């Protein structure tokens, strides 16, 4: 039996319970709301994305703005990728080498202006040595960072979980864009993130969480890139959270990793899938309509597709079938019925008593007993992103739920584990 000492300390310290959410409610300081966009000065060259160009389109479909909502005193820009509370704590950097329509160099994706900012040109130097490669790689190498106060402003200590979830959603959106643009990817978690943080001029406000490469190898030697970048404030307001910074540092190293070399094999109609990506939204309520068992099986097959990475942690997928035609209601795992009966009210209660959990067709709980916290959390969110797109593709809504009663979910699924993500799908 696994005990407290077997799981990541930060995870154990940031659990929600019926008592905690009532004793320590979040109170937002609207005067200190952080900015959700990072922009480099105009002294850096910015290249406007042209969606008629294949590689420009590839970049846009990762995190481009797809809609704007205006409320009294505030504007929300919705993007290709979902984010808890629309806070978007993550930034995207990449190296391009040998790609048409994008000069060889290191870039930042300036999402607000739908442009890419050239930080430095590359030639015989590059970021390859920072991820353990000594030859030039043609293609793209992406790095995902987190500016954690964007999330901790609202979610306090639990925000590191949301930073990792949102980072995983960006990895998932790269996976989706790579599919429609005929590219193959590999995720890298095992690299010196602190060295990269220093290279890009980050202070304590921003840190890298993952890397993804879409490259072909060459036999040409490459030298380590030297950057001399200004430290750019990507949040405007900032409050230090020592628990989050400790959690990041404590989870930097990977160990006993299982390498997954298999590639994903989707079978979407690509033009319709492109529209699904652009139209993706988080649903706010369900109408208690059922989905078919064939649709659920299609979704489960997509969720089980391999995720190519250098640190593949096992993620367990539990789901509560509330309204699935020709499927007995109850709690399932690996297509096995664990507990029969109408458990919709229980599922809603576990999701902090939100109707999303009980009115859905299916409510999912993703868990892991893995040790590599950053890798396992981001993998859970890649699976969550697949669930968003697969359900939307089939005409159903999806909502990610990052808040739940941790220990009570464990009791419900009868497994002493780390609960990472809850999601609900339906009409």
Spell out the domain ranges in the chain: 33-250, 282-426
Q: What pLDDT is attached to residue 420?
A: 98
CATH number of this structure's domain 282-426, picked from the four choices 2.40.30.170, 3.40.109.10, 3.40.50.360, 3.30.300.20 = 3.40.109.10
Residue 2's pLDDT is: 45
Chain centre to alpha carbon of residue 288: 28
Tokens of 307: 């995720």
List, in sequence order, every residue forming a beta bridge with 325; answer none if it has no partner.
Answer: 292
Residue 350: alpha-carbon gap to chain centroid: 22
Residue 200 pLDDT: 98
Predicted pLDDT at 5:
57
Give bridge partners of residue 251 from the DSSP assignment. Answer: none
Q: Which residues of the chain have pLDDT under 50?
A: 1-4
Residue 365 contacts residue 318 (beta carbons within 8 Å) = yes
CATH for the 33-250 domain, from 3.40.50.300, 3.40.50.970, 3.40.630.30, 3.40.109.10 = 3.40.109.10
The residues, ordered by sequence, that sit 6+ positions from 249 with a Cβ below 8 Å of its Cβ are: none
What confidence score (pLDDT) does residue 6 get? Answer: 64
d(CA 213, CA 273): 22
Residue 408 has which token pair? 């009570």
d(CA 233, CA 158): 22
pLDDT at 30: 80
Provide the β-strand partners of residue 400.
Answer: 423
Given this model, what pLDDT does residue 26 score?
75
Backbone angles phi, psi at 186, to 5 degrees: -145, 130
Residue 55 neighbours by CB under 8 Å, 6+ apart: 96, 99, 100, 101, 102, 181
b/e sequence 396-416, b meaning 16+ C-beta within 10 Å: bbbbbbbbbbbebbbebbebb
The pLDDT, as a whole number, for residue 52 is 97
The answer to whether 33-250 and 282-426 have equal CATH topology is: yes
**Buried b / exposed e across 210-236, counting CB within 10 Å, b at 16+?**
bbbbbbeeeeeebeebeeeeeebebbe
Cα–Cα distances in angstroms (integers) from residue 335 to residues 149, 193, 287, 409, in the given order? 39, 38, 25, 19
> Is the overall model pTM greater than 0.85, yes or no?
yes
């Amino acid at each position: 039996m696994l005990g407290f000492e077997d799981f990541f300390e930060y995870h154990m310290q940031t659990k929600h319970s019926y008592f905690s959410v009532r004793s320590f409610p979040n109170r937002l300081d609207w005067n200190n709301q952080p900015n959700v966009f990072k922009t480099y000065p105009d002294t850096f060259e910015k290249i406007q994305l042209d969606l008629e160009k294949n590689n420009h389109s590839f970049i846009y479909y990762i995190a481009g703005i797809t809609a704007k909502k205006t409320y009294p005193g505030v504007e929300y820009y919705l993007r290709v990728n979902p984010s808890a509370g629309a806070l978007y704590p993550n930034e995207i950097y990449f190296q391009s080498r040998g790609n048409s329509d994008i000069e060889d160099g290191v870039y930042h994706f300036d999402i607000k202006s739908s442009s890419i900012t050239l930080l430095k040109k590359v030639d015989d130097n590059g970021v390859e040595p920072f991820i353990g490669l000594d030859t030039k790689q043609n293609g793209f190498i992406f790095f995902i960072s987190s500016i954690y106060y964007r999330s901790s402003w609202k979610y306090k200590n639990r925000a590191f979980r949301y930073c990792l979830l949102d980072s995983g959603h960006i990895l998932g959106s790269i996976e989706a864009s790579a599919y429609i643009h005929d590219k193959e990817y590999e995720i890298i978690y095992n690299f010196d993130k602190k060295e990269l943080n220093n290279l890009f001029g980050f202070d304590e406000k921003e840190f890298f969480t993952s890397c993804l490469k879409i490259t072909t190898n060459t036999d040409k030697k490459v030298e380590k890139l030297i950057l001399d970048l200004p430290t750019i404030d990507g949040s405007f307001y900032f409050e230090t959270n020592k628990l989050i910074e400790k959690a990041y540092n404590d989870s930097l190293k990977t160990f006993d990793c299982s390498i997954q070399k298999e590639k994903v094999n989707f079978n979407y109609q690509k033009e319709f899938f492109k529209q699904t990506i652009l139209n993706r939204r988080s649903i706010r309520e369900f109408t208690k309509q059922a989905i078919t068992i064939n649709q659920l099986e299609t979704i489960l097959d997509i969720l089980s597709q391999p995720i190519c990475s250098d640190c593949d942690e096992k993620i367990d997928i539990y789901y509560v079938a509330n309204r699935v035609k020709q499927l007995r209601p109850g709690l399932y795992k690996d297509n096995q019925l664990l507990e029969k009966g109408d458990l919709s009210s229980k599922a809603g209660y576990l999701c902090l008593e939100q109707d999303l959990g009980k009115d859905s067709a299916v409510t999912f709980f993703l868990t892991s007993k893995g040790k590599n916290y950053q890798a396992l959390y981001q993998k859970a969110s890649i699976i969550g992103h697949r669930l968003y797109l697969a359900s939307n593709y089939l005409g159903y809504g999806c909502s990610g739920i990052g808040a739940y009663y941790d220990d009570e979910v464990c009791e419900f699924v009868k497994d002493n584990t780390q609960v990472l993500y809850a999601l609900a799908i339906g009409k």
